[in-house]
């Protein structure tokens, strides 16, 4: 068999990203370390990772016709040094310089003839710190899969663990021609078509039987599902923001952090989830940003990835997408913190209950019939994407260095703003990407988002430059690293 074919959401992500630069789906995890990792240990660690997570040794391969999604197959010429590299920032280095490097990495496309990932070590940062940037294509991993990959890369102590299980041997590569790939595609498509036809016949049979035994319940369910599909696939006219209306193919990054307990306690006192508090903070920040520009946005259109991991039929394994996107309007103007959380909870709960949510993969397959410009236009109608990814609650290490920051930097993929939160070691790390035309004043947006998180969490929020020297009472991971290094 010539590898495995990308299907469903993975295939749709690949297609859109390959056809439109504004839809490129790169995920960059910016991991800040208290010192430079051992290069020799790191190379061994990454090599081990590629054996534990086979997709990291798989490249896209295409058939003769090239009209279907590519297949992923083990790269016979896999070379670790083409994916792992290091360099040093000039001068004293800075947070702005590091974010600029992350931006360049994110905006550059992948080599589509090699595995879809890169790891870059950046040295020369203030306080003798270093950073590791892990770049993945969204077609091979969602946010949670990225965390899973990270857990296979990072360690629980600065010293090597001699009891750690040995890595398996590298996967064997197979040689095959474009004709072999085409024949495998045809076989897979025929099998999927037959399976879909079988499911359709089964559904029609169940519907016919239900019409006889329980006509009201059967037709009500069918009507609800049809309505859900209509809502799920509706194409919005444009963004709801009167301010963030323009779109480009470039974006800039920003980030900050805050104690996670603050956000968690704020949600708990209102009987809400952490995600409700997170979305409330983003809404509060964007409300402030619009007020700064003397504009009012009663509602903004939010994109919220909803994980399907653990659902029946979850086929994700360790590194793939098991997610669908809920898109809905959320009130943001002039609300209290409790009202913001209530609205976020109601909207997410409503979408989790939508029957169409579990049809994400079949709908993604159907999206191949929709021209990419139409899909891109729908994506650009979103104002903000929010994603909350739980991370490890304990300290991690990488080849002798301690992880002191873990910032998620995700492409905007059509939205004006993307805000992602990863929790790690008692802190919430917030990564922001903002479209350059939609948000020409990123510094002001970050100020307002920090104020929004301070309002919702009722506590201090870290600086927009985490490398800035902090006071003795500042207990954020970055500040601890600064003091230890004597910066």
CATH of the domain at 111: 3.30.559.30
Contact predicate 400/210, CB 8 Å: no
Comparing 155 with 226, which gets the higher pLDDT? 155
Q: How far apart are CA 108 and CA 417, in angstroms?
A: 19
105 has pLDDT over 90: yes
What's the total number of domains in the chain? Answer: 1
477 has pLDDT over 70: no
CB contact set of 381 (below 8 Å; sequence gap of 6+): 235, 236, 237, 238, 239, 301, 414
- In tens, the pLDDT along 6-59 reads 877 777 778 788 778 888 888 899 999 999 999 999 999 999 999 988 889 999
Give 353: exposed, middle or buried? Use CB within 10 Å, 0-12, 13-18, 19+. Answer: exposed
pLDDT of 270: 96
**pTM across the whole model:** 0.87
Provide the mean pLDDT of the chain: 84
486 has pLDDT over 70: no
Using alpha carbons only, give the angle 408, 414, 419 rounded to the nearest 5 degrees. 30
- In tens, the pLDDT along 141-192 reads 655 566 677 778 999 999 988 778 888 898 888 788 888 888 887 787 777 7
- Lowest mean pLDDT: which of 42-51, 114-123, 158-167, 238-247? 158-167
273 has pLDDT over 80: yes
**In Å, how far are 53, 152, 167, 178, 226 from 158, measured between CA atoms?**
23, 15, 19, 46, 55
Query: What confidence category does residue 119 fall into, taking pLDDT thresholds of 50, 70 and 90?
Result: very high
Cα atoms found within 13 Å of the Cα of residue 75, Cβ hemisphere only:
22
Residue 388, domain extent: 1-487
pLDDT of 183: 83
DSSP 3-state assignment of 267?
helix
């Amino acid at each position: 068999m010539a590898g495995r074919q990308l299907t469903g959401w993975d295939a749709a992500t690949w297609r859109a990203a390959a056809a439109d630069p504004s839809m490129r789906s790169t995920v960059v995890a910016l991991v800040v370390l208290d010192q430079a990792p051992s290069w020799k240990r790191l190379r061994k660690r990454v090599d081990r990772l590629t054996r534990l997570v086979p997709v990291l040794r798989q490249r896209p391969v295409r058939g003769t016709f090239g009209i279907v999604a590519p297949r992923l197959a083990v790269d016979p010429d896999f070379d670790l040094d083409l994916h792992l590299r290091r360099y040093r920032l000039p001068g004293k280095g800075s947070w702005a310089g590091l974010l600029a490097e992350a931006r360049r990495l994110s905006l550059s496309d992948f080599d589509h003839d090699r595995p879809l990932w890169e790891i870059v070590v950046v040295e020369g940062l203030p306080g003798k710190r270093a950073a590791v940037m892990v770049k993945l294509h969204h077609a091979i991993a969602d946010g949670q899969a990225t965390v899973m990959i990270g857990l296979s890369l990072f360690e629980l102590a600065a010293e090597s663990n001699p009891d750690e299980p040995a890595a398996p041997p590298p996967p064997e590569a197979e040689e095959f021609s474009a004709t072999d790939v085409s024949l495998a595609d045809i076989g897979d498509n025929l099998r999927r078509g037959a399976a879909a036809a079988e499911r359709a016949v089964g559904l029609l049979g169940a519907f016919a039987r239900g019409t006889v035994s329980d006509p009201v319940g059967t037709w009500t369910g069918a009507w609800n599902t049809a309505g859900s599909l209509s809502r799920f696939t509706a194409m919005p006219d444009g963004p709801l923001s009167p301010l963030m209306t323009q779109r480009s193919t470039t974006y800039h990054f920003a980030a900050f952090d805050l104690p996670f307990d603050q956000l968690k306690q704020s949600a708990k006192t209102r009987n809400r989830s952490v995600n409700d508090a997170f979305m409330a903070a983003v809404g509060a920040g964007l409300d402030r940003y619009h007020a700064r520009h003397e504009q009012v946005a009663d509602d903004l259109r939010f994109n919220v990835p909803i994980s399907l991991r653990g659902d029946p039929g979850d086929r994700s394994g360790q590194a793939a997408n098991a997610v669908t996107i809920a898109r809905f309007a959320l009130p943001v103007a002039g609300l209290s913190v409790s009202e913001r959380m209530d609205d976020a909870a109601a909207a997410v709960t409503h979408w989790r209950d939508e029957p169409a949510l579990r049809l994400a993969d079949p709908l993604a397959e159907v999206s191949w019939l929709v021209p990419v410009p139409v899909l891109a236009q729908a994506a650009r109608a979103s104002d903000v994407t929010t994603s909350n990814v739980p991370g490890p609650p304990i300290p991690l290490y990488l080849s002798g260095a301690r992880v002191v920051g873990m910032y998620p930097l995700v492409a905007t993929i059509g939205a004006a703003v993307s805000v992602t939160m990863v929790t790690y070691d008692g802190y919430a790390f917030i990564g922001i990407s903002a479209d350059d035309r939609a948000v020409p004043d990123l510094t002001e947006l970050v100020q307002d988002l920090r104020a929004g998180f301070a309002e919702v969490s009722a506590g201090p929020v870290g600086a927009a430059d985490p490398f800035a020297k902090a006071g003795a009472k500042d207990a954020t991971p970055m500040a601890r690293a600064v003091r230890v290094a004597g910066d």
